[in-house]
Copies of this chain bind each other. A is one copy, B any other.
Amino acid sequence: MKSVNVPAITITRVSRYARNLALLDEKGVEIVSSARLADICGVNPAQIRKDLAYFGQFGIRGVGYYVKELLNETQKILGTDKRWHLGLVGVGNLGRALLRHAQFINEGYTYVAAFDKKPKRIGTRIGDIEVAPWEAINRLIKDKGAEVGVITVMPEQAQDAADMLVSSGVCGILNFAPIQLKCPAHVFVENVDFTLKLDLLCYRLNSDTSQGHRKRTK
């Protein structure tokens, strides 16, 4: 069913379809036209068909998609029908935001451990999680079976955090620190780097202004 040759951008769109299908399902919607689903997801209907074609045949011509069925299929594709366990390193504002706001996280994910270096943070609780010191990373990641590490420390601590997570058996890292982590080939790393997005945004605004389409307010 799955192939590593599916482009990342396709997987990202499937993830967006899954999220919106879950919202429709919550609202009790049973069938959605491909035009409607495409509109909600911000793509065109042909794109949805093309993306899903990597994984099989879905939808009924002239009807659209059965919401619950396609939701289940997309979750199977993504692997989010399984439960994934996350260990977070760095309980500053960003780390706390991630731990607290369950609504930012899909159903398939559970935080099982959180770590920090600052003594005043160690032992505090955020939701169900008690913040542990870095020295406990190895033991707790193994004990709690965390497969994915989330790094929300300062840039200068990020590589150390990654090394400790990897040596504890984590094979996937979601990295919020604005540095390129060096990890062994068997470890998957995804970077969430909003300053790059901000640069892209301002490049576009700037190009647009240079071409006289728009005036900056100041």
Q: Given A79-B203, A201-B148, A192–B194 Cβ distance below 8 Å?
A: yes
Tell me which residues across on chain B come within 8 A of A191, comparing CB atoms: 197
Kindly state whether residue A190 has any CB partner on chain B within 8 Å: yes
How distant is the Cα of A148 from the Cα of B184 in the complex, in angstroms? 38
Kindly state whether residue A210 has any CB partner on chain B within 8 Å: yes
Tell me which residues from 171 to 211 in chain A have a Cβ below 8 Å from any Cβ of chain B.
171-174, 176, 178, 180, 186, 188, 190-192, 194-208, 210-211
Pick out which of these stretches binds chain B: A4-12, A60-68, A130-138.
A4-12
How distant is the Cα of A198 from the Cα of B80 in the complex, in angstroms? 10
Q: Smallest Cβ distance from A36 to chain B, in angstroms?
A: 13
Pick out which of these stretches binds chain B: A26-34, A45-53, A94-102, A114-122.
A94-102
A174 near B198: Cβ-Cβ < 8 Å: yes
Kindly state whether residue A147 has any CB partner on chain B within 8 Å: yes
Which of A79, A155, A192, A199 gathers most chain B CB within 10 Å?
A199
Instruction: Apart from A106-B195, A147-B205, list 16 A-B contacts with CB within 8 A.
Output: A4-B204, A12-B196, A15-B195, A15-B196, A15-B203, A79-B202, A93-B97, A93-B100, A93-B101, A94-B97, A97-B97, A104-B194, A106-B199, A109-B202, A142-B217, A190-B198
Tell me which residues across on chain B come within 8 A of A147, comparing CB atoms: 205, 216-218
How distant is the Cα of A154 from the Cα of B78 in the complex, in angstroms? 24
B202 near A84: Cβ-Cβ < 8 Å: yes
Which of A18, A84, A100, A142 gathers most chain B CB within 10 Å?
A84
How distant is the Cα of A1 from the Cα of B176 in the complex, in angstroms? 32
B217 near A106: Cβ-Cβ < 8 Å: no
Tell me which residues across on chain B come within 8 A of A15, comparing CB atoms: 195-196, 199-200, 203
B190 near A103: Cβ-Cβ < 8 Å: no
9 contacts between A and B (CB under 8 A): A3-B207, A4-B207, A8-B200, A11-B203, A93-B100, A169-B217, A172-B204, A186-B213, A188-B201
Tell me which residues across on chain B come within 8 A of A93, comparing CB atoms: 93-94, 96-97, 100-101
